[in-house]
Amino acid sequence: MNRTDLLLIIIFNLFLIDLAPGMCPVNPDFPGVYASQSDTIPDNQSFFNGRVWRNYYSMVEEDQFLFSKKFLPGEVIMRGRTYSDVMILYDIFKDEILTPYKPVGILQLNKEMVDSFSIIFRDESYRFIKMHDSTNSELNGYLNVLYRGKTTLYIKYSKKIEKLEAKGENNKFYQLTRIYLSKDSLFYPLTGKNDLIKIYDEDKKAVRDFIKKNQLRISKNDPESFIPVLRFTDSFNR
């Protein structure tokens, strides 16, 4: 082997080393993520449809994920096919689902193929559907279905970045939680009991009496507090 060939081999190896951080199975934002788990459903390659995820916000305080920065157990339905026992993260800043995939590290699933998904956090299951073609752009994307009857209660989770650089601090993620009621093909934002009463204007006395009689405390900080009232209004024969 002459010196020219040896030099070419060294340059090629250095090039591979430079590629390694983005292509190896260990992502620096999730150290040890593969130490305790193998690929998500490794025998079903049709699930792994998407692109390599990269964290462009590692310098922002907090994180862009819902509930936890750890991968959570869940289920994904893609084009009518169910993939169970998968590990996923929900990035609510970009409204994307991530899953571990050894050849690339972390994969961002193809959103066009996802119908719905669920994740389990602290023994609670949260189901999300994909909404599209809504006239309200805030409703497009993944919505948590909290209640479904004659009406449906949705939660839209998102995160934004608070700009703090001017104050000499790092920028910081903060979370927004919006609640929507779907009734007669229309969507209504909910922030408290007065919003419900306005929606059920014809039955506002019955709704007020129900809330008072049952001593219900309805708050946007507790989305489930709306459910007893919706069960009651869904019982109306209309």
CA distance 222 to 220: 5
Q: Are 143 and 128 in contact (CB under 8 A)?
A: yes
- Residue 46: the pLDDT is 73
**pLDDT tens readout for residues 121-171:** 999 999 999 987 666 777 889 999 999 999 999 999 999 999 887 776 788
Q: What is the pLDDT of residue 158?
A: 95
Residue ranges per domain, the chain?
25-190, 192-238
Tens digits of residue pLDDT in 38-57:
455 555 667 787 788 888 88
List the chain residues with pLDDT less than 50.
4-28, 31-38
3-state helix, strand, coil in the chain (%, to 5): 25, 35, 35
What does the pLDDT read at residue 119? 95
Cβ burial, residue 209 (10 Å; 0-12/13-18/19+):
exposed
Closest CA to 117 of 107, 104, 106, 130: 130
